[in-house]
Structure 1
Amino acid sequence: MSSTKGLAIIAGFGPGISYKLATQFGTLYDIVVLGRSTPTVLQTKPSATLPPPVSATTLLLKSLFTDPDLTNLETPPLVSSIQTDLASDVSVSETFAQIKDFNQPVAVAIFNASAPFLRKPFLQSTPAEYSAAFSISALGSVLFAQHAIPLLLNGVDFNNKSSTPELPYPPTLFFTGATAGYKSSAQMSVFAAAKHAQRAIALSVAREYGPKGLHVALVNIDGLVDSEKTKAFLADVPDGKLVPADVALSYLDIHKQPRSAWTNEFEIRPWAESW
């Protein structure tokens, strides 16, 4: 199935922010979501039937395919999912080879994967835990960006906002960061070290490719994300947690910025969050 729309690629598909990123950017572009346990389903219209086996990720993907935010659009996007190990150069290379076969301009690429949150005394932290954290947050960011940037640069035109009508805004590369990338709290050395590395990568890429017309932004998620797992936390504070749909809307707003006024680092936190 072919399309002339631009593509939005979202790495690290799961419930919460990445799901809402897909529905927000699906209002403008066709969507490609990547994840280690995400089944590969290429270029389908919303409401598609997914193949077995049934898993939590498959059910989440089914929800995306049938989400009214997409199905009720005048021109619903094509939705693709590709099983990808973001810490593997081979896997990421194979994924982007499939994306290139779509023959569509890439408008947005979002690295929303992250090493698991880990709080552990420093002397009990293991080399394997550091390696695992860096493999996703740091190496994963590198591999994803190295494959996404050439496709994003194809959409850059120094004389106009973008090179084709399918790309109404400057091509944008996002990295989802965390407060741990700015400050290292006690017993947070594993997670914080990986997030500091990711921030360094994102800012270096922004400084290198911003002058070439590619908008690169690091989004610092500072606060508890509202989900089933966090329902019991801050229950007495109205709007005390980050609402995924509202966070995703902020990404969309950044993407729409004219190149005369780009944001390269952006912090999102609830009004009641201490910082």
Structure 2
Amino acid sequence: MTAKKPLALVAGAGAGLGQSLLARLQAGGMTAVGLGRTKPDHTVGAFHTLDLSDADATSGTIADLIAAHGPPKIVVHNTAELVIAPFTETTLADYQRTWTSMVQTLIILAQSVMQPMVRGGGGALIVSGATASLRGGARFSAFASAKFALRGLTQSLAREYQPAGVHVAHVILDGIIDTARSRDVHTLDPAKMMKPEDIAEAYWQIAHQPPSAWCHEIDLRPASEGF
């Protein structure tokens, strides 16, 4: 009997980093499955279109995947909702939208995968953060407040599940990711942007760190980026 390939999930598997993550996971011999609100025109591996803030839809889809493939060994939370506006023009709905997109989705995702991962012998949960996870900038109050909350939630999950064999890591992406959309929006030289495939490789390495030397938080940025 052919052994099943280990399951890997990417929540927020849009064009750019999400698809690069799926490609790296698949290249590593895993069954790579993307989850997200909008399916990209070209996707690597399987993709399930769903609202990740919907607890019933998300938990049901993940339960079906676990039934078919076994508990996931690598799970990546990569959702984001960017709001940039002066504080007086940032509505309560903007705050609720950023929290729902980033914090609520991680709560639902973790509730769906953590216990199965523990029962399956462990694995890795990696959460994508940003510069705003550490520093709230002007006009970024909605985004930064949600990213701060996401970081705190990730720390709590790490402290609760690390002893049970699940490596929980928070990755601060301090730079602009090189995508077709970012090239349209930013005037920055693409050579100074973060390459999605390089970030995906870093995530792969984090997921395979030996238990005697796990990191919880790491920051990634281009060599040209000041900090």
Compute the TM-score of the two structures, normalised by the length of structure 1: 0.77
Please, which of 133, 139, 144 is the counterpart of residue 192 of structure 1?
A: 144
Please give the secondary structure, in 1, of the residue aligned with 2:187. Answer: coil
Cα distance in 1 for residues equivalent to 2:60 and 2:94: 27
Please, which of 108, 114, 128 is the counterpart of residue 143 of structure 1?
A: 108
Matches within 5 A, 1:128-207: 128-156=93-121, 171-207=123-159
Q: Does 1:125 align with 2:77?
A: no
Matches within 5 A, 1:1-275: 4-27=4-27, 28-38=29-39, 57=40, 59-61=41-43, 64=44, 79-115=45-81, 117-156=82-121, 171-231=123-183, 233-235=187-189, 239-275=191-227
Q: Which residue of 2 aligns with 1:167?
A: none
Q: CA deviation at 1:3?
A: 6.1
Please give the secondary structure, in 2, of the residue aligned with 1:102. Answer: helix
Q: CA deviation at 1:199?
A: 0.3
Closer, same or farther in 2 for the Cα pair 1:250/1:10, shift >3 Å? same
Cα distance in 2 for residues equivalent to 1:26 and 1:134: 30
Q: CA deviation at 1:227?
A: 1.4
Residue 12 of structure 2 aligns with an amino acid whose one-letter code is G
Cα distance in 2 for residues equivalent to 1:176 and 1:194: 12
User: Which structure has the bigger radius of gyration?
Assistant: 1
Q: CA deviation at 1:22?
A: 0.5
Cα distance in 1 for residues equivalent to 2:102 and 2:117: 21
Please give the secondary structure, in 2, of the residue aligned with 1:141. Answer: helix
Residue 148 of structure 1 aligns with an amino acid whose one-letter code is V
Cα distance in 1 for residues equivalent to 2:200 and 2:114: 21
Cα distance in 1 for residues equivalent to 2:84 and 2:31: 38
Residue 21 of structure 1 aligns with an amino acid whose one-letter code is L
Q: CA deviation at 1:155?
A: 2.8
Q: Number of aligned residue pairs: give it.
A: 223
| 8 Å contact kept, 2:83–2:94 | no
Cα distance in 2 for residues equivalent to 1:3 and 1:213: 22
Please give the secondary structure, in 2, of the residue aligned with 1:173. Answer: strand
Compute the TM-score of the two structures, normalised by the length of structure 2: 0.93
CA RMSD in angstroms comes to 1.5
| 8 Å contact kept, 1:8–1:109 | yes
Please give the secondary structure, in 1, of the residue aligned with 2:24. Answer: helix
Q: Which residue of 2 aligns with 1:54?
A: none
CA deviations 1:89-144 (Å, max 9, x no partner) are 111122112212214241101111111x2221111110111101100111111111
Please give the secondary structure, in 2, of the residue aligned with 1:60. Answer: coil
Cα distance in 2 for residues equivalent to 1:89 and 1:229: 29
Which ranges in structure 2 are unaligned for 5 or more consecutive residues?
none
Structure 1's consecutive aligned runs of 4 or more residues displaced over 4 angstroms after TM superposition are none
| 8 Å contact kept, 2:83–2:98 | no
Hey, which of these two has a bigger chunk of helix by percent?
A: 2
Q: CA deviation at 1:13?
A: 1.3
Q: CA deviation at 1:153?
A: 1.1
